[in-house]
């Protein structure tokens, strides 16, 4: 598969606690991370809260300037390019945030929110943009009439659909989903995950899916990267990570996944007993 993104030894360090009389200390939020993502692939990025996975996502998009390392997008080194040079690439690389209520302007109608990316990048006429907004709403499973309403009039799952619609408006090639289903009910999570899979297939999207929930990541990902204190401790296919994890931290994360079906509980206990006897 053709590579679309590659990061090499990426670091994002912050100085915390610095003041007039304080020297401050370095927080290594991302500390030497390397991986690649192919077109049309979903890479699940998992780890506990505070491990640096969201910071990594924002650094890849250059919302934070990296401390060290390299970021390659479609073979081009974008690590040190200016904000002006980065602007055209914003169309190619988008993000869906965790809380759509915070990321959507509450004073704007949905139509205004979805039209904004086209206006910022000077794409289309007013009539064309409004037609594209209607098409976006239908694509994410909302009625065209939603364009006249405001964010507070929608449920959490519907607002996340709107956030996704805004992210795909300019037909990006890479989508970073930062805990984008963690605030939703389980049934709504499934709907949003299925929507992402559908859009990925239609648009050949590469997705970095950031989550602390390994059961969700398993459903949507092709490969999984496990992050711990700013570093990748394991990277492999879904089958490799979930069936035969190599890192102790990965095994601990997997053991913490709730098992809801009684049959699966029995299988797990049987496996643990066999391993203990062996």
Tens-digit pLDDT profile for the chain (278 aa)?
799 999 999 999 998 877 666 777 899 999 999 999 999 999 999 999 889 999 999 999 999 999 999 999 999 999 999 989 999 999 999 999 887 778 889 999 999 999 999 999 999 999 999 999 999 999 999 999 999 999 999 999 999 999 999 999 999 999 999 998 887 888 899 999 999 999 999 999 999 999 988 889 998 999 999 999 999 999 999 999 999 999 999 999 998 876 554 444 444 444 443 444 34
Query: CB within 8 A of 39, min separation 6: which ones?
Result: 1, 2, 3, 4, 173, 204, 206
How high is the pLDDT of residue 276? Answer: 42
Check: CB of residue 12 under 8 Å from CB of residue 73: no
Can you give the pLDDT at residue 185?
A: 87
- Return the pLDDT at 275: 44
**Would you say 132 and 169 are in contact if contact means Cβ atoms under 8 Å apart?**
yes
pLDDT of residue 15: 87
Q: What is the pLDDT of residue 25?
A: 83
Give the model's pLDDT for residue 98: 84
SS3 content of the chain, % helix, strand, coil (to 5): 45, 25, 30
Please answer whether residues 203 and 168 qualify as being in contact, where contact means their C-beta atoms are separated by less than 8 angstroms: yes
pLDDT tens digits, 2-59? 999 999 999 999 988 776 667 778 999 999 999 999 999 999 999 998 899 999 999 9
Backbone angles phi, psi at 148, to 5 degrees: -90, -5
Where residue 17 falls (left for φ over 0; alpha for ψ -120 to 50; beta otherwise) is: left
Residue 46, SS3 per DSSP: strand
pTM as predicted: 0.88
Joined tokens for residue 61: 């998009």
Beta bridge partners of 16: 25
Alpha helices in 16-168 (DSSP H): 53-60, 83-86, 100-103, 110-120, 126-139, 156-168
Q: How far is CA 223 from the centre of its chain?
A: 14
**3-84+208-277: in CATH 3.90.1720.10:** no
- Whether the CB-CB separation of 151 and 112 falls below 8 Å is answered with no
Mode of pairing for the β-strands spanning 206-211 and 68-73: unpaired
HEC-encoded secondary structure of 141-166? CCCHHHHHCCHHHCCHHHHHHHHHHH
Question: In this predicted structure, what is the pLDDT of residue 269?
Answer: 41
Give 181: exposed, middle or buried? Use CB within 10 Å, 0-12, 13-18, 19+: buried
């Amino acid at each position: 598969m053709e590579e679309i993104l590659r990061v090499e030894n990426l670091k994002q360090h912050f100085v915390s606690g610095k003041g007039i009389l304080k020297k401050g200390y370095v927080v290594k939020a991302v500390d030497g991370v390397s991986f690649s993502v192919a077109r049309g692939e979903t890479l699940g990025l998992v780890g506990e809260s505070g491990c640096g996975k969201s910071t990594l996502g924002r650094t890849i998009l250059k919302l934070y300037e990296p401390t060290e390392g390299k970021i390659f997008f479609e073979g081009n080194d974008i690590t040190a390019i200016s904000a002006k040079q980065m602007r055209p690439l914003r169309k190619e690389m988008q993000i869906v945030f965790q809380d759509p209520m915070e990321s959507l302007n509450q004073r704007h109608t949905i139509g205004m929110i979805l039209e904004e990316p086209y206006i910022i990048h000077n794409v289309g006429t007013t009539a064309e943009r409004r037609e594209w907004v209607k098409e976006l709403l239908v694509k994410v499973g909302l009625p065209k009439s939603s364009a006249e309403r405001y964010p507070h009039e929608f449920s959490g799952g519907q607002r996340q659909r709107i956030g996704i619609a805004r992210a795909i408006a300019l037909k990006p090639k890479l989508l970073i989903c930062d805990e984008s289903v963690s605030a939703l009910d389980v049934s709504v999570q499934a709907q949003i995950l299925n929507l992402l899979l559908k859009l990925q297939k239609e648009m050949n999207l590469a997705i970095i899916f950031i989550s602390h929930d390994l059961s969700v990541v398993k459903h949507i990902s092709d490969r999984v990267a496990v992050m711990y204190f700013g570093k990748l401790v394991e990277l492999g296919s879904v089958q490799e990570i979930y069936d035969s994890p190599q890192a102790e931290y990965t095994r601990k994360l997997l053991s913490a996944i709730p098992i809801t079906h009684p049959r699966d509980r029995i299988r797990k206990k049987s496996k643990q007993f066999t391993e203990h006897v062996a």
